[in-house]
Structure 1
Amino acid sequence: MLFLRLFFESFRFAVHALKENILRTILSLLGVTIGIFAIIAIFTLVDALNNGIQGSLSVFGDKVVYVGKWPFSFGEGEYPWWKYYRRPSPNESEYKFIQENAKWVKSIAIYEAKGGNTFQYRNNSFEDGKIVGASYEYNKINSMPIGDGRYFTTNEMSSGVQKAVIGFEVAKQLFPRGDALGKMIKTKGQKFLIIGIFEKQGESLIPTPSNDELVLIPYHSFIKIYASKGRWVSTNLIAKGYDRDTDMGEILAELRGLLRIKRGLRPKDDDNFALNRTDAIVEFIDKITGSLKIAGGIIGMFSILVGGFSIANIMFVSVKERTSQIGIQKALGAKNYFILLQFLCESMFLSFFGGIGGLFLVSLLSLLSTEVFVITLNFQNLIIGLGISAFVGIISGLAPAISAAKMDPVEAMRAS
């Protein structure tokens, strides 16, 4: 009960200090407000960036490894493209070999994609679309929900029938009345029967492959279009691991071993393939956003430091104004720790008000949200902001509180 009363009294004194000279107090707390705003705003914007990027990358799926000629590059060191260019592309024989022998691969698919295609239906056309030829397991690895119609059967995929699942934007432009299912579209001189339409994916924060402008056909149908006409086809494999393989170490080691065996590489030979993880993109982004958080924290700390000195100044003034009151309290038996806690709590509440002001400004950033960049002040950042505010208040009020606690009651009462 004593501590509850102490907190209540301290809160009352803090509110009184705000009302007594509101302009002076607000200006003094402005440093804390700006500091908390700078720190939590950076944290909030970085979280929004991470969420947006992860949402964009969700199309690739989780626990996914891309097998191809070219390794992902994040600007670290030289990129010897001439070396990777000479590597052989994965082929259907390697795909089947991995499918038959792998134990840590949950699903694997072979695919190839070509952009810049024109799809036609009667007088309507869709320009610059992408066509992907893939095996049956492709939709088990990538996020490709069907909005209308159905996906391919295993027989349709293996036999290479002239059927297709098209993206939302392709269907919208070619079939404005929404009657795409069962119709035939034409591309590269070939006709394909539409059996399904992908759900609308919408915009993404980073330029990732979109299902909206995609036409998916069986892999063997794709080969008929391109390889039969002498055009270069560079296939890729995509594999998905099990959830129990938390760090993806097992699937990466297994894929590497099987590919080296299939390609007849000797122990001293370098790998002539690349195993790319989508998680590596997220890890790279995390490094960048982590640096942004540190930079924002340093900038905010300078503002908070100024705000801390301002709160300390207010508390010294408060101690001087209430010197006689402190003397009376001590004469009536108040312990030193009671006086100390009283002023520490008051200082904490004052800083708390400044922190709330900063968090309020951060919450206004949500007005700048877009469809792909959603800004929200989450509970974790809210607690961090309030925690920093309270800590700054306690540190700022420590010296004034100690000076008040050490006062001699007789001398303090004479000060009136």
Structure 2
Amino acid sequence: MARGDFRENLAMAFDTLLANKTRSFLTILGVVIGTMTVIVIAAFVSGISERVSTEIEAFGANAIYIFKFDPGFNFNPTFEERTRKPLSYADAMAIKSECPSVEEVTALMSPVDFLQGPMADRVKIRYQDIEMVNATVSGIFPSYFRMGTIEVSEGRAFTEGENMTRADVCVIGRDVANTLFPMINALGQKLTFNGRTYEIVGVLKQRDFFLQPSDDPGNENKAVYVPYETIRKIYPNVKEHFIIAQGRPGQTEKAVEEIRGALRKSRKVAFSDPDSFGIQTSKGLVEQFGQITGGIFLLMVAISSVGLLIGGIGVMNIMLVSVTERTREIGVRKAIGAKRSDIIQQFLIEAATLTGFGGLLGILLGWGLALIIRMFMPTYVPLWAPIAGFVVSVSLGVGFGLWPAMKAARLDPIEALRYE
């Protein structure tokens, strides 16, 4: 098709749209809604994925997490997982002594029953007359501070010596400091829980977590970390542990295999039996979350495609009406030499222009809505989303406009000129 013919057909398409503004808008409404929905979903999923990936990687690119349960975002452990032997201090020591690719390791012990839910409300933290009930007390090795998972912004971390002597010291989260010591510096102050007094030697850097609401007791800002040996003294009956290791640079995968071998040996897992523990890396957690968000995105796109389908059917119907209304015009064009292909091109360009305009409007509305949502949660519109939205909307017009275009092209010019 010559460039002049294309421009002429495009101009005719715009003239037709402007001549029937209300009808055109109602016709493309489904396309507008469908495209807008895709843009918003893409912005939401992309924003959440990027934020979660950033948060997970902030805990250390070489971090390796060892659980009693299989890793992932499954919040319904099986009976076999629930009845597994808890991870222990001995397991952490086995990793430390038998895994050369592991740079650091810590066991984390907390007064939490992982089978029945949090028991943090049983640990009331107090300073004078001020009490906090939604903090979480955990015992960790001093090596935890060297992993980069948590960062002390004021004071210091406790030492290996303080851990071995079961010193009554602690490092607290920023929310704990703000709650118990709103008017004074928390460093050097003493807080009380479980009938014992602990000196605050450090305060953690404030960190905001999308995955953990500010009122979640597991939030790091509400943490109270004490030496591991000290927490064992306070809670001698707690058996549940969580282990975090850090692989040496470039050796994370090798470290995972070494940890698996060390734990199978430590926990006396038979050669033919599956692991009685779960191992996951930061990279693995990001990939798992990406699979989940990808599935959600595809599901939501499938739902929003219903709007696009309805819009496409609407375009086809209105183009069929347009063919009927312009029968004499088609007859005149054919009589003065227009070929079938010219008529098909004219109506396809008109249909594509109609849906393309709907796609552009949907993209603008979706982008605006994503900016509004961004004030409350992380969203951003990836470059491919508006491009895909426009291409799909134009393709929709071509696909659903093909039958009306062919119907127009098949009209007999003599019969068309007689049409009243």
Q: Fold-level match, TM-score > 0.5?
A: yes
Q: Distance in 2 between matches of 1:23 and 1:406?
A: 29
Q: Match for 1:215: what amino acid?
A: V
Q: Which runs of 5+ in 1 are unaligned?
A: none
Change (3 A) 1:106 1:385: farther
1:344 aligns with 2:348: yes
1:392 aligns with 2:401: no
- How do 1:303-342 residues align onto structure 2 when only pairs under 5 Å count? 303-316=307-320, 317=322, 320=327, 322-323=329-330, 326-327=333-334, 331=337, 340-342=344-346
Where 2:83 maps in the other structure, the secondary structure is helix
1:125 aligns with 2:131: yes
Asked whether the equivalents of residues 332 and 413 of structure 2 are also in contact (C-alpha less than 8 Å), the reply is no
Change (3 A) 1:132 1:59: farther
**Matched residues, number:** 404
Which position in structure 2 is the counterpart of 1:226? 235
Cα distance, 1:134 vs structure 2: 0.9
Change (3 A) 1:163 1:82: closer
Cα distance, 1:264 vs structure 2: 4.8
- How do 1:9-408 residues align onto structure 2 when only pairs under 5 Å count? 9-51=8-50, 53-54=52-53, 57=56, 61-62=60-61, 64-72=63-71, 74=74, 78-80=78-80, 83-84=83-84, 87-91=85-89, 93-114=90-111, 115-116=120-121, 117-141=123-147, 143-153=149-159, 155-157=161-163, 160-202=166-208, 204-205=210-211, 209-227=218-236, 231-241=237-247, 244=250, 250-268=254-272, 271-276=275-280, 286=290, 288-316=292-320, 317=322, 320=327, 322-323=329-330, 326-327=333-334, 331=337, 340-366=344-370, 369=373, 373-402=377-406
- 1:127-184 CA-to-partner distances (Å, cap 9, x unmatched) read 2311121112324546323333343455555555433221111101111125112322
Where 2:22 maps in the other structure, the secondary structure is helix
- 1:65-107 CA-to-partner distances (Å, cap 9, x unmatched) read 33343445826784235631xx25321x443332233144343
Q: Distance in 1 between matches of 2:159 and 2:180?
A: 25
Q: Distance in 2 between matches of 1:154 and 1:292?
A: 46
Cα distance, 1:359 vs structure 2: 2.8
Asked whether the equivalents of residues 226 and 233 of structure 1 are also in contact (C-alpha less than 8 Å), the reply is no
Q: Which runs of 5+ in 2 are unaligned?
A: 112-119
Q: Match for 2:200: what amino acid?
A: I
Q: Match for 1:307: what amino acid?
A: G
Asked whether the equivalents of residues 44 and 377 of structure 1 are also in contact (C-alpha less than 8 Å), the reply is yes
Q: Distance in 1 between matches of 2:306 and 2:240?
A: 54
Q: Match for 2:80: what amino acid?
A: P
Q: Distance in 2 between matches of 1:304 and 1:82?
A: 46
Q: Distance in 1 between matches of 2:229 and 2:375?
A: 38
Q: Distance in 2 between matches of 1:320 and 1:376?
A: 47
- 1:343-365 CA-to-partner distances (Å, cap 9, x unmatched) read 43332221011122333443353
Asked whether the equivalents of residues 57 and 282 of structure 2 are also in contact (C-alpha less than 8 Å), the reply is no
TM-score, scaled relative to structure 2: 0.78
Where 1:144 maps in the other structure, the secondary structure is coil
Change (3 A) 1:110 1:402: same
Q: Match for 1:351: what amino acid?
A: T
Where 2:210 maps in the other structure, the secondary structure is coil
Q: Match for 1:218: what amino acid?
A: P
Q: Distance in 1 between matches of 2:57 and 2:250?
A: 19
Asked whether the equivalents of residues 184 and 192 of structure 1 are also in contact (C-alpha less than 8 Å), the reply is yes
Q: Distance in 2 between matches of 1:128 and 1:406?
A: 76
Q: Distance in 2 between matches of 1:90 and 1:171?
A: 31
Identity %: 26
Q: Distance in 2 between matches of 1:181 and 1:139?
A: 17
Cα distance, 1:277 vs structure 2: 5.3
Q: Match for 2:88: what amino acid?
A: P
Instruction: Report which stretch shifted further, 214-223 or 394-403.
Output: 394-403
Asked whether the equivalents of residues 135 and 222 of structure 2 are also in contact (C-alpha less than 8 Å), the reply is yes
Q: Match for 1:21: what amino acid?
A: N
